[in-house]
Amino acid sequence: MRGRVFNHHAIARAGGFAFAAAAVVAAALYMADGGSPRSAHTSRPALSDDALAAELARCQRLGDAAGNDARCLAAWAENRRRFFTYLAEPAVAVPIVPSAASKR
């Protein structure tokens, strides 16, 4: 006999290349599909109909001027309070009174 029937080093090398090629193909297919199955759910959530959401939307439309608006400052404070607490309902509701300027 001249040599071994199986060259284990060559088989291991070929298996490594096959594994690397399969990983590259899987990554390409994953990226071509949009990255992840969650990408379909990353759309902007619809605003609820509550007064805070409406006030935050108004403040967003104001832009930089919202930094000087007392109603926007109160709405942001309430939004932070809701975000950073684990209570289902606010302990004390902060009333947001519409002004005459927002009725225009």
Query: Tens of pLDDT along 17-29?
Result: 999 999 999 999 8
**pLDDT value for 100:** 56
Residue 102 gets which letter from DSSP? G
Report yes or no: 56 and 79 within 8 Å, Cβ to Cβ: yes
- C-alpha–C-alpha distance, residues 59 and 92, integer Å: 22
67: Cβ contacts below 8 Å, ≥ 6 apart: 73
Query: Tens of pLDDT along 34-78?
Result: 655 554 444 444 445 588 999 999 999 998 888 899 999 999 999
Give me the residue spans of the domains in the chain: 8-37, 51-96
